[in-house]
């Protein structure tokens, strides 16, 4: 072979035997004899050594293949399950109601196209191209930015801690739904020797509110009062972590199968709820309220900021779960199609969930409006002749026989009384009752799921059945997102530190459950709110800004487009070029600045439940609570500057991210470096001269990608079947005859 050629170098502890069948398993092999031949690679030690970043096994054992999805459907369901979560059900409807109804969909769609889809496509592409978790991906693109991956892992861990607590709450309500009537149907009674009375805390609030705060959480008055563990919630949290551990213990082989149920079941429930709700009185009022656009609100910057934030979190950007899932794909998978498909599935799921929520809330508003009219009508009857004259009541309204008064008649009666008794109206103690007023009471998060929705379901026929379905849906939505979040932790750590998946999964779940006990004490709900507000928002925005900058400006947008062309078989739309390089980072930095300003201007507060007054009240965090809030943000972001400093001052050798080229073997990145000429023959094949080596398959079945100069080095080699080859880089030997291999 030519003396000036460059040989492949592999870094292993002992001699490794690999079959050419492995190297060409994704290509059209044509010669069985060639597939059975083997290359014996020498173990090089010394300066400038490079490692196979996906090494599996050691001491001469054959490398384990990277796991892969069983089917494209399983992969899509995994991405949908991760992106579609609880926020689609209890956050998006609230934002829609708060920010102009149907008009809110316009800024949301615009920002989905400008921010959501480009960034989602970017994460899918880098994960599929480099086929590693978040740590390996960003360390490969730029070693100095390797801290991005560690920051993603930190955020994933923080989010997993409290997100599984929400699943445990859903499990508790699910377990309590198998009884008729439902336990939150009415306020409990207290009996003593002389009388029976309603619990004051429940009487001042409502049955579902009381059940949530007192029966389920047994909440303390403030965050400083720990109050000990809530043993029922502790058992539910243990069950939630056990489910996550069992589903994740075998990686995507186990979690992928669970996805068929956890991703599809919520859609079945949402459609059933929509059909049932549309048959209930008042549901159309709720849907009409949702789709009535308030166009003037669209001009407010706050609406666009909240829409951008929702797009950002709805797709799970920055967590590392998207990258982890896509890293198990075939390298020629059309990830652009996946990005668009999953993004719009997520959007239409949010719209479907909003329809369901407003249909149910419309039904609830109709019931609450009827109760309001009934109570005020009784008040008017008691005031007749004693503050309200009989002549003020329209003749067609009959109050004396206890007949039901319609909403229209009540509004007419109230208008007359208010006009005549303008000065004394406030002293009469009458309230205006309207369905619109009930619907304008914006609720989100746990308030929507565990209070408003549960109250509405108590009025459903066969309410236990619908309660079981609803909370089982919440559990499945939560688990789908948890799988992606935990994968965002496990995959990068396994790729980086080569630990066994089973041990790491169990260890991670045990550690998370132990720390999670903080959230199931009586003050645990306040810590959930703290982590939700401060552990993810700002750190994730910083992570995604750095991801965008790393690809577009550090790695190079032109080089990335060439990679995409080679990987996909076509050049992506030029739209993405300008989005990634200019528009998206600008919008992200703007969003980051506004979020930072909002956090800085608004002191850290939380909603405390005051038992004596039976209401929520915003209170400031104590000094130690403020320190914890700041620490969550700092700890999540700290890996980025730390890794940058260690690389910059050469405390950690960053030669692994240098100018060495990269090749792919079934998901493994194999780094090549030029060796001195005198080592070429010895480093490629040991023990056999070229003439003794087995004859390879025909020359046009081996695809080389040149790392040297010339224009050919940037062109993708085309496989004989017309698809782009995987581009395994055997060696940079432009003139090497086939027989020399």
R_g of the chain, CA atoms, integer Å: 31
Cα–Cα nearest to 487, from 126, 133, 131:
133
Torsion sign across C-alpha atoms 595, 597, 598, 602: positive
Query: CA-CA distance, 20 to 38, in Å (whole number)?
Result: 6
Burial of 400: CB neighbours in 10 Å, binned 0-12, 13-18, 19+: exposed
Tell whether residue 224 is among the known ligand binding residues.
Answer: no
Kindly write down the DSSP assignment for every residue of 308-367, as one continuous string. HHHHHHHTTTTSSHHHHHHTTS-TT--HHHHHHHHHHHHHHHHHHHHHHHHHHHHHHHHH
The maximal CA–CA distance of the chain, rounded, in angstroms, is 118
Residue 444 and residue 90 in contact, taking contact as beta carbons nearer than 8 Å: yes
CA-to-CA dists, residue 707 to 6, 127, 156, 419, 673, angstroms: 11, 22, 36, 86, 10
DSSP letter (8 states) at residue 725:
P
Q: Establish whether 206 is an annotated binding residue.
A: no
| Distance in angstroms (rounded) separating the CA atoms of residues 348 and 351 | 5
DSSP category for residue 279: T
- Of 169, 134, 189, 184, nearest to 319 (Cα)? 134
CB proximity list for 515: less than 8 A, separation 6 or greater: 161
> Is residue 267 exposed (0-12), middle (13-18) or buried (19+ Cβ within 10 Å)?
middle
What b/e string do you get for 209-245 counting C-beta neighbours within 10 Å, with b at 16 or more? bbbbbbebbbbbbbbeeeeeebebbbebbeebbebbb
Please tell me whether 481 is known to bind a ligand: yes
Cβ-based neighbours of 20, under 8 Å, separated by 6 or more: 34, 35, 37, 38, 39, 696
Residue 47 backbone zone (phi > 0: left; psi -120 to 50: alpha; other: beta) = beta
Q: How far apart are CA 383 and CA 378, in angstroms?
A: 9
Say if residues 483 and 255 touch (Cβ distance below 8 Å): yes
> Strand, coil or helix: what is 195?
coil
625 annotated ligand binder = no
222 annotated ligand-binding residue:
no
Bridge-based pairing of strands 615-620 and 661-665 is: unpaired
Question: What are the phi and psi torsion angles at 606 (to 5°)?
Answer: -145, 160
Question: Measured at the alpha carbon of residue 564, what is the angle toward residues 537 and 113, in degrees to the nearest 5?
Answer: 45
- As a whole number of angstroms, the distance between CA 533 and CA 516 comes to 17
Alpha-carbon distances, residue 649 vs 136, 390, 645 (angstroms)? 21, 89, 6
Q: Is 23 annotated as a binding residue?
A: no
> Which region holds residue 14: left if phi is over 0, alpha if psi is between -120 and 50, else beta?
beta
The answer to whether 145 touches 555, Cβ cutoff 8 Å, is no
The residue among 38, 31, 40, 129 whose CA lies nearest residue 700 is: 31
Q: Which residues fall in the annotated binding site?
A: 81, 84, 88, 346, 477, 481
Binding-site residues for Na(+) sit at 81, 84, 88, 346, 477, 481
């Amino acid at each position: 072979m030519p003396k000036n050629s460059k040989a492949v170098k592999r870094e292993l502890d002992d001699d490794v035997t690999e079959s050419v069948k492995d190297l060409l398993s994704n290509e059209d092999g044509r010669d069985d004899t060639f597939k059975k031949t083997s290359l014996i690679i020498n173990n090089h030690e010394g300066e400038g050594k490079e490692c196979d970043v996906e090494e599996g096994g050691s001491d001469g054992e054959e490398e384990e293949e990277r796991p892969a999805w069983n089917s494209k459907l399983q992969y899509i369901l995994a991405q949908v399950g991760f992106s579609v979560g609880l926020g689609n059900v209890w956050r998006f409807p609230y934002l829609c109601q708060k920010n102009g109804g149907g008009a809110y969909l316009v800024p949301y769609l615009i920002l989905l196209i400008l921010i959501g889809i480009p960034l989602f496509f970017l994460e899918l592409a880098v994960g599929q191209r480099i086929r590693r978790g978040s740590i390996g991906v960003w360390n490969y693109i730029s070693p100095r930015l390797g801290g991005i991956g560690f920051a993603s892992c930190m955020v994933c861990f923080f989010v997993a801690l409290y997100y599984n607590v929400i699943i445990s709450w859903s499990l508790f309500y699910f377990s309590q739904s198998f009884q008729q009537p439902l336990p939150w149907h009415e306020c409990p009674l207290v009996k003593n020797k002389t009388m029976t009375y309603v619990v004051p805390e429940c009487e001042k609030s409502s049955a579902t509110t009381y059940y949530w705060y007192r029966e389920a959480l047994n909440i303390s008055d403030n965050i400083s009062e720990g109050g000990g563990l809530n043993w029922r919630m502790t058992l539910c949290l243990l069950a939630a972590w056990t489910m996550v551990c069992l589903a994740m213990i075998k990686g995507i082989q186990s979690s992928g199968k669970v996805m068929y149920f956890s991703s599809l079941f919520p859609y079945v429930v949402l459609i059933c709820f929509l059909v049932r709700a549309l048959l209930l009185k008042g549901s159309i009022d709720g849907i009409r309220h949702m789709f009535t656009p308030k166009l003037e609100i669209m001009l407010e910057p706050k609406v666009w900021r909240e829409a951008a934030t929702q797009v950002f979190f709805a797709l799970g950007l920055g967590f590392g779960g998207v990258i982890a899932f896509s890293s198990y794909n075939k390298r020629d998978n059309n990830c652009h199609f996946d990005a668009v498909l999953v993004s719009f599935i997520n959007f239409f799921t949010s719209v479907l969930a909003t329809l369901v929520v407003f249909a149910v809330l419309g039904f609830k508003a109709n019931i609450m409006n009827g109760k309001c009219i009934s109570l005020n009508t009784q008040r008017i009857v008691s005031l007749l002749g004693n503050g309200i004259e009989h002549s003020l009541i329209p003749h067609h309204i009959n109050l004396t026989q206890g007949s039901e008064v319609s909403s229209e008649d009540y509004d007419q009666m109230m208008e007359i009384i208010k006009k005549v008794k303008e000065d004394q109206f406030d002293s009469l103690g009458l309230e205006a009752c309207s369905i619109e007023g009930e619907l304008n009471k914006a609720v989100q998060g746990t308030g929507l799921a565990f209070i408003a929705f549960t109250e509405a379901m108590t009025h459903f026929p066969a309410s236990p059945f619908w309660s079981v379905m609803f909370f089982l849906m919440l559990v499945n939505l939560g688990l789908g997102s948890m799988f992606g979040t935990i994968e965002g932790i496990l995959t990068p750590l396994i790729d980086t530190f080569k630990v066994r998946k089973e041990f790491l999964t169990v260890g991670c779940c045990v550690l998370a459950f132990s720390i999670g006990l903080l959230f199931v004490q009586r003050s645990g709900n306040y810590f959930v709110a703290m982590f939700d507000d401060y552990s993810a928002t700002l750190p994730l925005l910083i992570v995604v800004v750095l991801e965008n900058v790393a690809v577009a400006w550090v790695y190079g947008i032109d080089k990335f487009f060439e990679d995409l062309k080679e990987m996909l078989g076509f050049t992506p739309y030029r739209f993405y070029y300008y989005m990634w390089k200019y528009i998206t980072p600008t919008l992200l930095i703007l969003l980051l600045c506004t979020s930072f300003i909002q956090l800085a201007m608004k002191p850290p507060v939380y909603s405390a439940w005051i038992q004596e007054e039976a209401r929520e009240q915003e209170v400031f965090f104590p000094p130690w609570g403020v320190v914890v809030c700041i620490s969550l943000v700092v700890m999540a972001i700290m890996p980025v500057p730390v890794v940058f400093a260690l690389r910059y001052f050469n405390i950690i050798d960053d030669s692994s991210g240098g100018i060495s080229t990269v090749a792919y073997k079934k998901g493994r990145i194999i780094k090549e470096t030029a060796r001195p000429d005198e080592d070429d023959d010895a480093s490629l094949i040991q023990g056999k001269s070229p003439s003794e080596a087995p004859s390879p398959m025909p020359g046009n079945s081996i695809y080389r990608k040149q790392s040297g100069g010339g224009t050919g080095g940037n062109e993708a080699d085309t496989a004989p079947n017309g698809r782009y080859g995987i581009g395994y880089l055997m060696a940079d030997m432009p003139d090497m005859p086939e027989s020399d291999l």
